[in-house]
Amino acid sequence: MTYSEFRYSLLGNLFPTAPGTVVINYNTVGGVTTIDDVAIVIKDDLPQLQEATSISLLIPESNGGIININVESSTTPVRVVDRGVVGVYYCYSILTPDQRPIVNTLPATDPEDYNTGVVIEPITATGAYNYNTYNPLIGNTITDRESSYIVHSDRGNTSTNPANLDSILSDQAVHASVQDSLYSNTGWINGRYEGTKTDAQGYGGINPTITGISFTGAYYPLRVEDNTISQASLDTRVLQEFFFIPGKGVNVTVPTVTVPSDSSAPPAVYEASGQTSATRTVFDFEVTSGATEGAPIQVGSYMYIYNLDEIVRVEEVETVGAVVNTTVKRNMFGTNPNPTTSVVTTTARVMEEISRIYQFRNNRIEFVEEGKVWVQTSEDILRMDESGYSATGSVAL
């Protein structure tokens, strides 16, 4: 019988369970009979069974009487032995086919009429191999840890379904020799299955700041007026090093204030029909007829609304055909705190020139929280949202 069938039989006590019982699993393939598994009923000798390196069976009908079975895994030659407690037995399964002992003649099959001698090495009569704090088990490190929920799928044949499909479906299958942590430990599964999580908002990670450009400045809470910041003396400022990653197409050595309504701003790429009120947050954008290709609308994108002279941030996106259903957060960076304008057609574009500001905090790089940063070199005042993006502020006169 197969490896799985043999173990199921052991678990179901389908073989004798009296002390001293040895169960041998023979298999014949291509006219050659081998010993694939040996199971021994556990009495008070579990440490000895765990320490065993070889088992000698007395089988008078075969090989001159004695067959030696090596029950240790090795790399030279390659030998894989699965060993451990299965029900009331301690089982040794030789999983490498060419390392299984060959039997010339099968012994008697009636367990009532057949007795065999069994010698387990090493012999523990002297106590030399007793299991205690100072004597670790011999060879026990090759026994794999079993999963608490992943089961073994017997693919030993060429059928579409595993041989133990019924046992799997009835939740009776043998648990697989694999650690649960291989499928639950974040440090393992992120690199192998889940992938890393760096998103637009940076809550699962931030952009590689090694590409950032450093500058000196001072941070202020959002409530501090721009006039107060610009008129402060240098000795009252708490200067620190910041980093910024320029937006697309921005070639500067210090962050600058973006002025979306400037006449040099790119033309609108998207438009949405319907009355745009002060509280509207959902827009059905389509590409403006004749517009040049622009950046796609994605979650985390910032968009400039021309008709309202306002910057919004994209919170949700659903594309249906040519229409991009977009839910936004209004009045980003305080660009339109008291919207009163209502327009019938809304024109907009995705802003790719927005920079993001970072700083060292607690020995790690983090984006600057919502507030303002005075830039020492240009004396401009940048305004950041809660994710560290900067698109507006005050330009030094």
Is the Cβ–Cβ distance between 201 and 329 less than 8 Å?
no
pLDDT at 125: 44
What's the pTM value of the predicted model, to 2 decimals?
A: 0.42
pLDDT digits (tens, 9 = 90+) for 313-333: 899 999 888 888 999 988 887
Answer yes or no: is pLDDT of 16 > 50: yes
Is the Cβ–Cβ distance between 242 and 369 less than 8 Å?
no
Answer yes or no: is pLDDT of 262 > 50: no
Average pLDDT value for the chain? 77
Nearest one of 343, 369, 366, 371 to 280, comparing CA atoms: 343
Domains and CATH numbers, the chain: 3-143 (no CATH), 150-196 (no CATH), 209-258+354-394 (no CATH), 270-350 (2.40.30)
Q: Which of 119-128, 161-170, 263-272 has the highest mean pLDDT?
A: 161-170
**What is the mean predicted confidence (pLDDT) over 128-134?**
50
| Distance in angstroms (rounded) separating the CA atoms of residues 284 and 273 | 7
Sign of the CA dihedral with 209 first, then 212, 218, and 219 last: negative
pLDDT digits (tens, 9 = 90+) for 181-225: 887 776 777 777 776 655 544 444 444 445 678 889 999 988 888
pLDDT at 198: 54
Angle at CA of residue 274, ends 268 and 280, nearest 5°:
85
**What is the mean predicted confidence (pLDDT) over 54-67?**
69
Percent of the chain having pLDDT more than 90?
8
Q: Which residues of 259-290 are buried (b: 16+ CB within 10 A; e: fewer)?
A: ebeeeeebebbbbbeeebeeebeebbbeebee
pLDDT at 127: 47
Answer yes or no: is pLDDT of 63 > 60: no
Pairing of strands 118-121, 102-103: unpaired
Q: Which of 44-48, 136-140, 264-268, 313-317 has the highest mean pLDDT?
A: 313-317
**What is the mean predicted confidence (pLDDT) over 62-71?**
72
